[in-house]
Structure 1
């Protein structure tokens, strides 16, 4: 915290504790003139002086600095992240239904899956996943992150392409699906590598949760890019998306007014 904000904060906290400058001086062994100049923003005190003052005010300086580093709480921002979190939950549930339908269609092409049902599930996946990723784009704007912002938009573009490819294959059963599926795996694998690295860079703001999520997403990306290990990548994808939900909810909790 720099001057003059530091002086204003000390003045505010001293008055909140009902202390005069003389009473504060008696607690931290600093002369009155120094306190006056600090509160007026005329001088920048040394770190040990600042810690002595805050200790006298019974304030944990480290916690105060951590709170000061957070973005300003905003009801609009927090509600946006909450909506993204809920959309992510719905997407996570729908993804299991989607996977079941795709598996049944790949093993039994003659299986009766209605076109409207398949189309509605795919469109719902598209909408929910896009809102989910927009939550991370918002996080990238709040806690400046130049990897998450483009990666989240790329993920939205990727899901649009993949859903369009799935619908094309559904309505054109004679088409060989393997080339399109391989292209989908490589596309999403590449995007998830960028996205995972962006998450890892949130280690300062979200600690081990961001580190774990970032590593899980990057492993998922590598498995998808290999194509032959894409099925294993689906297992890591489920784990990484659970971690993404935790990260997003943690961001929402930090922004709640």
Structure 2
């Protein structure tokens, strides 16, 4: 169910039942601020929150549910999305180690970095990031988002190219390292602008968290494309990834609650 329609329904039904927001809170065990934001149409609550409020107001949820808000997903799809969520966190954490090693190589080409550790970290990034992006592809398919789906596939293609280039430079030829790094920055910057816009399109489904994730991802992409501000882009990317992971979990939560 889309906002602001959901908020209006809850507001009207609460008033029709002669309840104050505080009395509704007492019935469904949700804090007042959350009720206020839902009624104002500022956020789209999770499925279990909607059910709790509707139960407290004696509303038949089946009467109001629409296909657009929560698409029907299977348990298998829910499992895939939660796997992508955990893979995203592993990628996020592993990226700090990757960044530290790449920084060492940038300041000194003779940095003492174990080849097998470097390779394993790069392959781990490739695997976890690809799984993470496939989760967003699945979400894009379920919620019919034609920006997220190609962005996710482009993200996988981009990480394959960049990891291959990194390993080539590490083992075979480091003479063009700066040019290759600039190219990688531009590639991922372009991808994250598309990905960010796709997240912005999820505002109705997942609230302001998706909007914030999308805006920060777009800013990160622009910083990467500039190359000069790539380091700022890395900081923005870290923030965007955390917000995007929250969005991914909310998508899982919606599908999981349908099948529970």
TM-score bucket of the superposed structures, by smaller chain: 0.7 to 0.9
Whether 1:193 aligns to 2:193 is: yes
Cα pair 2:216 2:239 within 8 Å, conserved? yes
Distance 1:85-1:61 versus aligned 2 partners, 3 A rule: closer
| Match runs of 1:82-231 below 5 Å | 82-231=82-231
Higher RCO, 1 or 2 (CA under 8 Å, sep at least 6)?
Answer: 2
Write the deviation string for residues 89-109 of structure 1: whole angstroms up to 9, x where unpaired: 110110000001111122232
CA positional deviation for 1:111: 2.2
CA positional deviation for 1:163: 0.5
CA positional deviation for 1:80: 0.4
Distance in 2, matches of 1:247 and 1:143, equals 13
Cα pair 2:133 2:156 within 8 Å, conserved? yes
Q: Which ranges of structure 2 fall in alignment gaps of 5 or more residues? A: 2-53
| Higher mean displacement: 100-109 or 238-247 | 100-109
| Higher mean displacement: 107-116 or 239-248 | 107-116
CA positional deviation for 1:209: 0.8
CA positional deviation for 1:174: 4.0
Three-state SS of the structure 1 residue aligned to 2:112 is: coil
Whether 1:246 aligns to 2:260 is: no
Write the deviation string for residues 113-169 of structure 1: whole angstroms up to 9, x where unpaired: 121111111001000000000000000100001111111000100001110111111
Distance in 2, matches of 1:122 and 1:134, equals 18
CA positional deviation for 1:60: 6.1
Q: Which ranges of structure 1 fall in alignment gaps of 5 or more residues? A: 2-53
| Higher mean displacement: 157-166 or 61-70 | 61-70
Detail structure 1 runs of 4+ shifted over 4 Å in the superposition.
Answer: 60-63
Three-state SS of the structure 2 residue aligned to 1:70 is: coil
Distance in 1, matches of 2:68 and 2:147, equals 24
Aligned to 2:25: none
Cα pair 2:73 2:142 within 8 Å, conserved? no
Q: What TM-score does the superposition give when structure 2 sets the normalisation length?
A: 0.74
Cα pair 2:84 2:133 within 8 Å, conserved? yes
